[in-house]
Amino acid sequence: MDKEKLKYELTALDFALADLKLYLDTHPDCSDSVRLYNSVADKRKVLFDTYQSLYGPLTAETYSGSESSWDWVDDPWPWNK
């Protein structure tokens, strides 16, 4: 999957998690939503790890792919074109 498509898919899964998280905060006993959250979180982890291994760090703390130079500073930053 190319970089932009992968980022788009990851953004969509992150959004699903963000929205489900808020729902679960006020409905912590909704077991269907807990199961849905867990299944989206599993898919998201696979895409997140794939993205970082192919295209560099999304969070510095979960990335150990830099070799002789520090990849975290590489452009683009999210506000750049």
Partner 1 sequence: MWLYEKKLQFPINIKKPDPRMAKLIITQYGGADGELAASLRYLSQRFTMPNGETRATLNDIGSEELAHLEMIGTMCHRLLDGADCELLRKSGYDTDYVEHGVGVYPQNSAGVPFTAAYIQSKGDPITDLIEDLAAEQKAKQTYEYLINMADDPDVIEPLRFLREREVVHFQRFGEALEIVKRLNSGKKYF
Q: Rounded to the nearest whole angstrom, what is the least distance from the CB of residue 20 to partner 1 in the complex?
A: 11
Q: Rounded to the nearest whole angstrom, what is the least distance from the CB of residue 80 to partner 1 in the complex?
A: 9
User: Is the Cβ of residue 28 or residue 65 nearer to partner 1 in the bound state?
Assistant: 28
Q: Rounded to the nearest whole angstrom, what is the least distance from the CB of residue 70 to partner 1 in the complex?
A: 13
Pick from 52, 41, 42, 50: nearest CA to 74:
52
Which residues contribute to the site for partner 1 (CB under 8 A)? 7-8, 10-11, 14-15, 18-19, 21-23, 25-28, 57-61, 72, 77-79, 81
**28-64 as b/e: b if 16+ CB within 10 A:** eeeeeeeebbeebeeebeebbeebbeebebeeeeeee
